[in-house]
Amino acid sequence: MATLHVRGNEFGFEPRTLELRAGAPTRIELENLGVIEHSLVVKAPDVEGDWIHLHALPKQTDAATYEIERPGRYPVLCTIQGHVEAGMVGELVVVR
């Protein structure tokens, strides 16, 4: 199984672009290096809910395994109030 390690801080993700293979289980880890809480969210297109939702308190890590079937490019957001406006965004690229 593939693993994507993402570091979050004030106010960005590293890397900003995440790539995973469609239909392949992938473990995504959000390590919060910052001093305030952060999330990593990918909204499900065309329906309510999230494809990916991780939430990490300062100096902590949250992780889960996801399997996304639909190739494409999707926005990655930190949904904590004001963080998107501060530039905490990225992109998920799902490839065949």
Distance CA 5, CA 51 (A): 17
**CATH code for the domain of 72:** 2.60.40.420
Kindly report the pTM of this predicted structure.
0.95
Tally of structural domains, the chain: 1
pLDDT confidence of residue 69 = 95
50: enclosing H helix or E strand: strand 50-56
73: nearest Cα among 32, 23, 22? 22
Largest CA distance in the chain: 37
Mean pLDDT by 10 residues, the chain (96 residues): 96 97 98 98 92 98 97 97 98 97
Domain residues for the domain of 63 are 2-95
pLDDT confidence of residue 46 = 85
Handedness of CA 20, 22, 25, 30 (dihedral sign): positive
